[in-house]
Structure 1
Amino acid sequence: MRLLTVTALAAAFSVNAVVLRNEDARDFKGGNHTAFKWGACDPTLVQDSNVSCSFFEIPLDYHNATAGTGRLAVAKVNATSERLGTVFFNPGGPGASGLAAMNEASTLLLALTGGNYDVVSWDTRGVGTFTIPGDIFCFDNVTDYNTFWNGTIELNGIEYTGNFTDPADTKALLTQATVMGRKYTELGKRCQQHPTGKYMKYIGTAATVRDMIALADALDGPGSPVNYAGISYGTLLGAWFVNMFPKRVGRVLLDGVLNPQLVATQESHKIWPQQLSDTDKAYDAFVAGCALSGPSGCAIAAANASAADVDATITTLLKQAHDTARKNASAPVTSADIRSALLSAMYFPATWADLANTTFPEIAAAVQGESLARRALGGVAQRIVRRHEADEAATYGGIAIACSDSIDPRGTSMKDVFKNTIAATQSANGSHLFTPVWPISWNYCSFWPERAMERYTGPFNKTLANKVLIANNCLDAATPLKGAQALAKIMGDNAALVVQEGIGVSRAVMGTWLDY
């Protein structure tokens, strides 16, 4: 699962080898369900020359032709051996760019699929500026964004110590409930009134499933088996696909699972804490590894430090940042910033050395007021600072996807959301460190004004043409193992579960998938 901010990709794609730029791509009318015009991708988005790009025309509403048409921005890398078909890939999010993923990982994806499949990904509805419907905008510029959210936790994050053991922290958060509830409601109206708002009802996972079926029909023939690999949010897309079109299921891998039953039955703000049920355990592994590495390998650790000592060092810094922010609203780094940086690192253990030896010392310098603090902070500001000063801060495509799929609003107030957040920090099954990281896309949905034209709510145990392979790390910081176990149980004989003894977001077993 990703945090709130999703990059809006100013991408362009080639048609007949002529690169379309931002200013003329919006008028492009090409593509249909029977033909693609593949060409070189715009190098500002895709630098991998092995990846080709095209547009693909889609109906906005598969059940109402009068709604008009949209288009998908699609990327493909060709099979390097005897071609056996296409593998469709979704990198997660919701809101991650399939084109960016292809640029970053086309060689790996080819290798993991044996070179016998074309690998195709695309910017789904709600993603980027060249898929239509693409990203959702609610502000004209970052200045409007910052003005709208000024003085709120949307920019400043949530400050607390322990698990809200200080009543002043609870009071400070609940005091924001009225204004934040009003702001989130007003945000939804702003999004609807923006030119992209007319597309909000056409964004959603069910429509994206139908888009993938249309892509498969065009690339591999009508009725062909659909091969698919999805990670994180992509597993929700996959779970909906295999149950909406059970006879079309080819080889399918769902890696790092979001339990679709939660999305079908629970309010979204209650899902987020459940996704963090293993995150504190990943943090425990981080501090243990730091202690074992010692000061030569982990700058947070003193000589002969234990895991508890490393945790105490981090906790002390969180407390210092918290106390400083209480006294000075302009503090360069807050405890909310530090938690956000730690949460991001828990997703990817490969980043732990950088966190421990570069980012953390810079944060500590800023919190402790050293003379070089502001200069030191410059190296990590884009990764940790709460004040959104980039164009991506004003985009809401990922939120639109998550909330379009959510159950209907139930009159939940922001105070309800806050109380649920506080309770989760105090639960044995929740994360006391990370649940209150703010903003989070799931927390908008009780106030989001649109739902998708079509949502799939089950059943999730259809009899499939082929078995599905489910995979998860045992300590996945974003999609806990219990989600994969739940989906495997629901699907019964139609799925098998593979668990990797690993930490972080699960990307475990794609190499074994094609032999399954």
Structure 2
Amino acid sequence: MMMGAQPPAPCLRTPTMADTKLTADAAPSAGPRWLRTLLFAAAAALLLAGYRRDGLRLPLCLSSGERAGEIGHIKWSPAAECNPGTECGSIIVPKDYFDPSAGTASVAIARFRATKFPKKGTVFLNPGGPGGSGTRLADQRFADLIGEDWDLLGFDPRGINKTSPQMKCFDSAHDFELFVANTVLQQGFTVKSVSNLTDPALEAHLVQQSREFLALKKAQAALCAKNMGDDLKYMGTATVVRDLDFMAKIFDGEDGKINFYGGSYGSILGAYLVNMMPHRAGFVVIDGIADPVNWSTEPSHKWPINWLASTEKTYRFYLETCAQAGPEACPLANYKDEPYEDMEARIEAFFDRLVSAPLPVPFAPRPGFLTSGAARGLLLMYLERPLQWADSALALAEAMAGNGTRLFVKLTSEDPIPPATARTDLVRLGVTCLDSPPPASRADVPSAEDLVAEFLRTLRGVSRHFGASVSVGEPDGGCQYWPVRGPERFVGPWNATLDWPMLIVSNTMDPITPIQSGLLINALMPDSSRIIIQDGPGHCSTAIPTLCTTKLVRGYFAGTLPANGTTCETSYRFFPGADADDNFAGLGAEDRRLLGSARAAGQLLQELRRG
């Protein structure tokens, strides 16, 4: 169901001056220029007259552009500007697929060509976020995961990185850093103590922080309205799905399917794709699943109660494996095989001390102080990344001993003034505030008290350690102040029938996209999906790549469907200490290469999601 514009199928077929079979490799020709000009002018006249079918607006179906600036035109950049082994550039797309008068947008792309033939088509890649740049994903690592007989096309979704219009609510990266520095937006929400979640003082403390949070969000929205205007309207996931449809026709022809690989928020994009355009979906893999029903029908302050369903299980596993490793490998432990409850109690005592006495951090690249909210939020982020658990234990142990530098730089970035890239602005809000439902009335606008009620519900019912800590890593909220609404908003249904089942991958201990979300999509699409369950921790299966999962995903793109519910075991030394990494021990050369590519790809995905 579409909210706002509600396009039925098919779309309005509009000829362009290059109206022939679509191709991204050669300039098309379509007869005499005078005839093409006449056809183009006639089509434009129809559109400007407000053409309707059955009383509903139809999205445009546009062919590839012949000239620079035309919709469909691809501008390839010099090789020196691209990552090694890739072609890169940009493609002109309609800014608004329902309104040609809105003009055009430019989507940044990077393509890694198939090396095995016959080529099967193009797989579009999204790292998540939302806000992650996809152009860096088009390389040999992902070819190893997906298959050498596919072209891989990474792209920057609307507003992100090199795609334009670029999300830029602040005049500079420095201005953004100054705006969030030492506020609740950066330091997160501090919970006075998780040992007494019924204490009235806890609620009052959270209300005061929530008021600050809402004031800052309101200021952000005002800056976006001033500096971006109507360009904010076109960053929603439904618009990005239409970009995928448009680009797939450019690169693989009118009948080419949309093939897709995405993790984290990329699972939202994939779920939207297969349900908005089931007839267009081809091979689709989503990993680290966010619940699309919750995403599209609940305001963002109600998302964490869904996201944190597996967090406590992950945290306990983190503490247990630390204790098993002992203090030499994990300095949070006092001795080998210490009861995890003792470690947990020491960490909580540290967080409680920070409530009343934040830790000065004078010697970081950007000096400051560490709050309880920040430290707890950073620990939640570390739970997503098992490859960094040893680093996290060292950073947390040093902070508990009085030196918060190592932990604090994870909050502020090692570079005190980061470059002006997507992560220094509000790209995430540009997506989530168009996807989440706007308040139906003034009574539905969440107050500070409403935010706190949701925090307490999550703390008491789902995750007592991290129920108010999501905002450090997932900076959502304040969409009630967002100045625009998009041309369409998809809210389901989520039970599409596909020609080829979608592949879902979920971890049993994913602390931010729980396995329940993957099982939900699988249940909603029982005949059009298969789920692989990776039994282990981390955000997305690539957090700890396994040969089992990697080969099943690669096999899927080769045309082999795994049995629904196939489980892959995880084997990894989370706290290796001074010992060499033995996770490749006993593997043959090909398996070592495949697992090495999967690990490198996973590290890149985590880097891009964080920005």
The TM-score normalised by the length of structure 2 is: 0.71
1:72 aligns with 2:103: no
1:41, 1:53 within 8 Å by CA — same for their partners in 2?
no
Q: 2:188 aligns with which of 125, 150, 157?
A: 157
How do 1:308-327 residues align onto structure 2 when only pairs under 5 Å count? Answer: 308-325=341-358
1:37 corresponds to: 76
Match of 1:98 among 113, 116, 134: 134
- Give the drift of 1:394: 4.6
* More displaced 10-residue stretch of structure 1: 279-288 or 412-421: 412-421
Match 1:445 to one of 447, 466, 479: 479
Secondary structure at 2:105 match in 1: strand
The reply to whether residue 124 of structure 1 matches residue 154 of structure 2 is: no
* Contact kept? 1:149, 1:155, Cα under 8 Å: yes
- Deviation, structure 1 residue 316: 2.2
Aligned-partner residue type, residue 207 of structure 2:
L
Alignment pair present for 1:405 and 2:432: no
Is the CA contact 1:139–1:145 (under 8 Å) kept in the aligned structure 2?
no
What is aligned with 1:4?
none
Match of 1:381 among 382, 405, 408: 408
**Deviation for aligned residue 1:95:** 0.6
Asked whether 1:356 is paired with 2:393, we answer yes
Provide the C-alpha distance between the structure 2 equivalents of 1:36 and 1:396, rounded to a whole number of angstroms. 27
Shift in Å, 1:446: 3.1
Q: Counterparts in 2 of 1:211-226, with a 5 A limit?
A: 211-226=243-258
* 1:239 equivalenced with 2:271 (yes/no): yes
Instruction: Determine the structure 2 residue equivalent to 1:419.
Output: 453
Distance 1:306 1:230, change over 3 A: same
1:277 aligns with: 309
Deviations 1:75-131 (A, max 9, x none): 1111121121111111111111102334xxx22210112211011110000211x21
Give 1:5's aligned residue: none
Question: For the structure 1 residues 387 and 221, does the alpha-carbon distance in structure 2 shift closer, same or farther, using more than 3 Å as the test?
Answer: closer
Is contact 1:324-1:331 (8 Å) kept?
no
SS in 2 for 1:432: coil
Tell me the distance in 1 between the aligned counterparts of 2:348 and 2:212.
30
SS at match of 2:136: helix
Deviations 1:186-228 (A, max 9, x none): 321211101x333101111111011111111111111211211
Please tell me whether the aligned partners of residues 71 and 104 of structure 2 are also in contact (alpha carbons under 8 angstroms).
no
Cα offsets for 1:28-51 (capped at 9, x unmatched):
955752655254263xxx6x4112
1:360 counterpart letter in structure 2: L
- Cα pair 1:41 1:51 within 8 Å, conserved: no
Q: How many residues align?
A: 469
Q: Is the 8 A contact 1:55 1:73 kept in 2?
A: yes
**How many Å separate the matches in 1 of 2:255 and 2:375?**
50
Q: Offset at 1:444?
A: 2.4
Counterpart residue type for residue 463 of structure 2: G
TM superposition shift of 1:307: 1.4
Aligned-partner residue type, residue 157 of structure 1: G
SS at match of 1:493: coil
CA distance in structure 2 between the partners assigned to 1:397 and 1:67 by the alignment: 21
Q: In structure 1, how many angstroms separate the alpha carbons of the residues matched to 2:206 and 2:292?
A: 31
My pick for the range that moved more, 482-491 or 313-322, is 313-322
Provide the secondary structure at the position in 2 that maps to 1:287: helix
Please report how far the alpha carbon of residue 140 of structure 1 lies from its aligned counterpart in structure 2 after TM superposition. Answer: 4.3
Counterpart Cα distance in 1 of 2:482 and 2:348: 35
Give distance in 1, aligned partners of 2:386 and 2:173: 35
Is the aligned partner of 1:57 residue 2:57? no
Shift of residue 422, structure 1, vs aligned partner: 2.4
Deviations 1:143-185 (A, max 9, x none): 4753x55774224432222166354342222124444333322
CA distance in 1, matches of 2:414, 2:534: 37
Deviation at 1:389, TM superposition (A): 5.1
Q: 1:433 aligns with which of 466, 479, 482?
A: 466
Task: Show the counterpart of 1:346.
Answer: 383
CA offsets 1:389-426 (integer angstroms, 9 cap, x no match): 54467500111111111112232223211221122111
Aligned-partner Cα distance in 2 for 1:325–1:472: 37
For 1:247 and 1:133, locate their aligned partners in 2 and report how far apart those are by CA, in whole Å: 30
The alignment partner of 2:98 has SS state of: coil
* Maintained 8 Å contact 1:299/1:356: yes
- Does structure 1 retain, via aligned residues, the 8 Å contact 2:351–2:372? yes
Question: What is the match of residue 590 of structure 2?
Answer: none
> How far apart are the structure 2 equivalents of 1:35 and 1:100?
18
Tell me, yes or no, if the aligned pair for 1:271 and 1:442 is still in contact at 8 Å.
Answer: no
User: Could you tell me how far 1:493 is from its partner in structure 2?
Assistant: 0.8
Aligned to 1:229: 261
Separation in 1 of the partners of 2:377 and 2:213? 20
Classify the secondary structure of the residue corresponding to 1:321. Answer: helix
Would the alpha carbon gap of residues 421 and 387 (structure 1) be closer, same or farther in structure 2, given more than 3 Å must change? Answer: farther
User: Are residue 184 (structure 1) and residue 207 (structure 2) matched?
Assistant: no
Q: Tell me, what secondary structure is at the counterpart of 1:198?
A: helix
Q: Distance in 1 between matches of 2:182 and 2:407?
A: 23
Which letter does structure 1 place at the counterpart of 2:230? Answer: K
Normalising by the residue count of structure 1, what TM-score does the alignment of the two structures yield? 0.84
Aligned positions of 1:272-311 closer than 5 A: 272-304=304-336, 305-311=338-344
Q: Post-superposition shift, 1:350?
A: 0.8
- Partner residue in 2 for 1:502: 536
1:268 corresponds to: 300
Q: CA 1:226–1:200 in structure 2 vs 1: closer, same or farther (change >3 Å)?
A: same
Aligned counterparts of 2:358 and 2:260: Cα–Cα separation in 1:
47
Whether the 8 Å contact between 1:133 and 1:199 is mirrored in structure 2 is: yes
Q: How many angstroms apart in 2 are the aligned matches of 1:511 and 1:225? A: 18
Shift in CA distance, 299/180, structure 1 to aligned 2, threshold 3 Å: closer
Residues in 2 aligned to 1:356 and 1:31: alpha-carbon distance in whole angstroms? 53
Identify unmatched segments of 5+ residues in structure 2: 1-24, 26-66, 362-366, 542-548, 562-611
Q: Residues 474 and 156 of structure 1: is their aligned pair in 2 closer, same or farther, counting only changes over 3 Å?
A: closer
What is the aligned-residue identity percentage?
A: 28
| Greater shift in the superposed pair: 477-486 or 178-187 | 178-187
